Amino acid sequence: MSSQLSIAVVTLVCVVTLLVGGLGLRLSRATSDFYVAGRTVSPRLNASAIGGEYLSAASFLGVAGLIYDRGTDMLFLPVGYTVGYLVLLVTVAAPMRRSGAYTLPDFAEARLGSRRIRLASSTLVMGIGWLYLVPQFQGASLTLSLVTGAPAWVGGFVVMVVIGLAVGAGGMRSITFVQAVQYWLKLTALAIPAFVLLALWLRQGTPPAIAPDSWDVALEAISPDDHPLYRTWSTLLALCLGTMGLPHVLVRYYTNPDGNAARRTTVTVLALLGVFYLFPPIYGVLGRVYLPTLPTGVRSDTIVLQLPETLLPGLWGQLLTAMLAGGAFAAFLSTASGLAMSVTGVIDQELLRPRLSRFTGGDAPEVRGFRIAAGLAVLVPYLLSRATEPLGLANTVGLAFTVAAATFAPLMLLGVWWRGLTRWGAASGLAVGAVSAVGAITFSLVGGPFTGWTAVLLSTPALWCVPLALGTMIIVSLATPGHIPPGTARVMVRLHTPERVALSRSRLRD
């Protein structure tokens, strides 16, 4: 019974996603429709879409799981996810919109005038996008296995097919509507069961949480090798700076009509995220009350889905579980489609379009290349998700944030605010950031087990990787003053001048 209800709700979410995506098919014609929804999306719709896109499996399931597992310290995760938007707002939101570029590689090329840096950025977009897609597929498999008993490959496969179709059908315009709907779907699906469970808990006389002593003590070392203060600061830095460097976050800013709208959108996003993140801790705490120990082999990422039927056996519990499963699927679908969209854009522009037009002499419709790219963008991470053992949803997502924080964040901060950035500086900073962040994480996963400071420095490397990359960019730029790109002054005018000032030469036409 429970499984049939859940299957019905998950199917409904998938069908709605495809239907709303299909609406975009009729509206999308020009290439710019596919990429940035014709730049006519209002701040409110855009904010809902950003919220819908950003709140992934990690937020819907992973945060509650980590709070259940490791207690108070993990409350800092959603704080980092949210404050990341505040940092984005005050540093790059309006300039990015004014840059007139479609994607991160477009920005890198426009700012630095270098094809090589564009190529490096494209590679990073694909890497970060795929890294972030893997946990979405794994989360889908986990959810579907738990609530329906389906084999492990099914959930991820369903998500892959649905987003492949949605992105290939309508591109960005459809995705904007899909994601705006999905924010509200996710919030409802998480909030209603939370209120019901809280009410039950209050009626039962608020039984206490059963947990190890260190669980509700903030910043207490779990073991002698643990360094909670460093770990917390490093995680916060990765999340705060990583947000701006995530490819699917930035592409949303190009759909705003102007720089002011981009700022207002961000303010609304902060409100939407703040409301959403009030709920995951409730599940974490109630999990400690009612399910103090999990059977072996059951991951704490599933705590959200297990609670309703523990507290409320019978039909109502099953209904709530089905609701949460639907919300979780909405989370996988929306984040994955946003990421797939960005990765698709890069594959299409960098790899396929030049080759397709060589084969066909420009006869192939642009849309066909875009659809092939969409297929590739979802297939690769699906295969990766089948090949790698799950690390824990919020942890894998954290890795993507760390890489973004050590590469794109310094490039964007310096690119927007410092005229002295040179090509050599940017290129070496990107290289140092990527190699140190990816290297440290890989080493900590396959080279270990490590103990003490080595373990902490390798597993949460943002606090040293980001300054290293930023410092490299500044020092190398200062050492190569002859390589400041010739168009820097013009790009700076474009990035910072409000749209109401008429600039016929410096501004690109949309």
Partner 1 sequence: MTPTPPNQRVRVTSSRRGATTPRRRPVARDLDEQTDLGDVYLAGLMRAQRRLSIIVISLILAGLIGLPLLLATVPSTRSLTIAGVPFPWIAIGVAVYPSAWFLARWYTKQCERLEADFVAVVEGT
Q: Which CB sits closer to partner 1, 353 or 490?
A: 490
The single residue among 151, 207, 212, 274 that binds partner 1, judged by CB under 8 A, is: 274
CB of 214 to partner 1, least distance (A): 11
350, 109 in Cβ contact below 8 A?
no
Nearest distance in Å: CB 359, partner 1: 41
Number of neighbours of residue 375 by Cβ within 10 angstroms: 17
Helix (H) or strand (E) segment spanning residue 91: helix 76-91
Report, in Å, the least distance between residue 156 CB and partner 1: 31
Nearest-angstrom CA–CA distance, 287 and 283: 6
- Tell me the per-residue interface mask from 26 to 45 with partner 1, x by CB under 8 A, - otherwise: --------------------
Binding mask 410-449 for partner 1 (x = CB under 8 A): -------x--------------------------------
Output 72 or 480, the one with its CB closest to partner 1. Answer: 72
Tokens 């809902």 belong to residue: 48
CB of 237 vs partner 1, minimal distance in Å: 8
Residue type for 480, please? T
Buried b (16+ CB within 10 A) or exposed e, 93-107: bbbbbbbbbbbbbbb
Tell me the helix, strand and coil percentages in the chain, rounded to 5: 80, 0, 20
Instruction: Report, in Å, the least distance between residue 208 CB and partner 1.
Output: 12
User: Of the candidates 27, 86, 119, 200, which one interacts with partner 1 according to CB under 8 A?
Assistant: 86
Which residue of 181, 189, 404, 492 would you call a contact of partner 1, by CB under 8 A?
492
Distance of alpha carbon 453 from alpha carbon 450, whole angstroms = 9
Angle between helices 393-417 and 115-148 (to 10 degrees): 160
Candidates 335-343, 387-395, 453-461, 492-500; binding stretch for partner 1 (CB under 8 A)? 492-500
The least distance separating partner 1 from the CB of residue 187, rounded to whole angstroms, comes to 14
Q: In whole angstroms, what is the distance from residue 137 CA to residue 391 CA?
A: 13
Neighbours of 116 (CB within 10 A): 12
Piece in contact with partner 1 (CB under 8 A), picked from 71-79, 128-136, 141-149, 160-168: 71-79
Residue 72 binds partner 1 (CB under 8 A) = yes
DSSP conformational letter for 296: T
502 interacts with partner 1 by CB under 8 A? yes
- Residue 508 is a binding residue for partner 1 (CB under 8 A): no
What is the SS3 string spanning 30-67?
CHHHHHHHHHCCCHHHHHHHHHHHHCCHHHHHHHHHHH
Q: Is 198 in the site for partner 1 (CB under 8 A)?
A: no
The 3-class SS string of 138-170 reads HHHHHHHHHHHCCCHHHHHHHHHHHHHHHHHHH
Report 220-249 residues binding partner 1 (CB under 8 A).
220, 228-229, 232-233, 236, 240
Q: Is 23 in the site for partner 1 (CB under 8 A)?
A: no
Q: Minimum distance between the CB of residue 274 and partner 1, rounded to whole angstroms?
A: 3
Could you give the dihedral angle defined by the CA atoms of residues 431, 435, 437 and 439, in that order, rounded to the nearest 10 degrees?
Answer: 180
What minimum distance in Å lies between the beta carbon of 244 and partner 1? 13
**263 lies in the site for partner 1, by CB under 8 A:** yes
Helices 152-203, 115-148: inter-axial angle, 10-degree rounding: 60
Which 91-120 positions form the footprint of partner 1 (CB under 8 A)?
91, 94
Q: Which amino acid is at 55?
A: L
Distance from the first to the final alpha carbon of the chain = 53
**Interface pick for partner 1 out of 6, 141, 266, 300 (rule CB under 8 A):** 266
Report, in Å, the least distance between residue 68 CB and partner 1: 14
* Shortest Å distance, C-beta 275 to partner 1: 8
Query: Radius of gyration over alpha carbons of the chain, in Å?
Result: 23
For helices 315-346 and 152-203, angle between their N-to-C axes, nearest 10 degrees = 130
Nearer to partner 1, 85 or 332 (CB): 85
Find the binder of partner 1 among 8, 475, 503, 508 (CB under 8 A): 503
Between residues 73 and 350, which has the closer beta carbon with respect to partner 1?
Answer: 73
Show the tokens assigned to 12: 């409904």
Q: Is 475 in the site for partner 1 (CB under 8 A)?
A: no
Tally Cβ neighbours within 10 Å of residue 313. 10
Choose one: 45-53, 273-281, 328-336, 474-482; the region binding partner 1 (CB under 8 A). 273-281
Q: Under the rule (CB under 8 A), what is the footprint of partner 1?
A: 72, 75-76, 79, 82-83, 85-87, 89-91, 94, 216-220, 228-229, 232-233, 236, 240, 260, 263-264, 266-267, 270-271, 273-275, 277-278, 281, 417, 489-490, 492-493, 496-498, 500-506
